[in-house]
Structure 1
Amino acid sequence: MKQLIRKIKEDKKLREIITYLFFGGMTTVVNFVVFFLARNLLGWNLVVSNTLSWILSVLFAFATNKKWVFKSKSTGTKQFLVELGKFFFYRIVSFGIDMGCMLLFIDVFKMGEFLAKLITQTIIVVANYVFSKFLIFTSKNV
């Protein structure tokens, strides 16, 4: 166990991936909590509750990815807004991939919803990591 912890501390890429997965899990918690609070406590409709939970979870993901996962060093308002804009854009793209995969797996391949969602979310996690690592939080933004 000590060797594993030491390896994680020393290996920047491994630490980045583990941190990304941790904060991705926390983002999911934010999404669920906001959705159920808005839906059950406030009595808001499904679309409003889901939209609010998506927006707040994307903002949470942006903040944690920027600061702790990819350690973006961008400075100034313009660079911040560029990263934020790219982050939202690529999260919308990943939402499109999510819906497309779900429809394909369920309607075309007749896959069960749970398995389809599991496979789709694996694709989305990888896609979001690639988008963030190579297209959003890049040294070009500094």
Structure 2
Amino acid sequence: MIMKKIKRLLLKYKEVIMYLIFGVATTLVNWVVYSLLMKTSAVNMTISNAIAWFTAVVFAYITNKLFVFESKSWNVAEVWKEVVKFFGARIATGVVEIGGLPLLYYIGVKQSLFGVEGFVAKILVSVIVVILNYVFSKIFVFNKKDK
């Protein structure tokens, strides 16, 4: 009985659950790339953040298309349309990401975590960005009504 309820809930919220799983994975890709660049290179915080963001967006498009929103179309025109919308939406949230980190740092969220300067601000910005990305992907990019 309980297992049936759990299964029903998992099926009902599959998309959100998958988005959260891959959203966390995308965020981890972003954080790992950012941390590696901050720890191992002379690249500054803003450039490290931009490179981490771009890497995460590529990962996110692939996982969102295949596993979250299960977009079945491989028609070149349809894929191109998705990619343009996806990157457009991510550029919008990328502005939040790239601008939000130094803004939070500037207003005093300067705490380090795991020995990485500004990482607490990075986490806060990431939470906001994950929520915005789901909304944009659901409504504008992988909207099944458009297909």
TM-score (norm 2): 0.72
What are the ranges of 5 or more consecutive residues in structure 2 without an aligned counterpart? 111-119
**What is the correspondence of 1:25-44 to structure 2 with a 5 Å cutoff?**
25-41=24-40, 43-44=41-42
State the percentage of identical aligned residues. 35
Shift of 1:2: 2.7
Mark the CA change 1:52 to 1:102 in structure 2 (over 3 Å): closer, same or farther.
closer
Partner Cα distance (2:101, 2:37) in 1? 27
User: How big is each residue's C-alpha offset from its partner over 1:29-59, in whole Å with a ceiling of 9 and x where there is no partner?
Assistant: 1111222233334x24024432221111011
Shift of 1:7: 2.3
Mark the CA change 1:96 to 1:68 in structure 2 (over 3 Å): closer, same or farther.
same
Shift of 1:112: 5.6
Partner amino acid, structure 2, of 1:125: V
CA contact (8 A) 2:34 2:49 kept: yes
Which protein is richer in helix relative to its size?
Answer: 1
TM-score (norm 1): 0.74
State the partner residue of 1:8: 9
Partner amino acid, structure 2, of 1:54: W
CA contact (8 A) 1:72 1:138 kept: no
Q: Which has the higher contact order (CA 8 A, sep 6+)?
A: 1
Partner secondary structure for residue 75 of structure 1: coil
**What is the correspondence of 1:1-142 to structure 2 with a 5 Å cutoff?**
2-3=3-4, 5-11=6-12, 14-41=13-40, 43-46=41-44, 47-97=46-96, 99=99, 103=103, 118=124, 121-139=126-144, 142=147
Partner Cα distance (1:141, 1:60) in 2? 23
Mark the CA change 1:101 to 1:53 in structure 2 (over 3 Å): closer, same or farther.
closer
Partner Cα distance (1:58, 1:26) in 2? 11
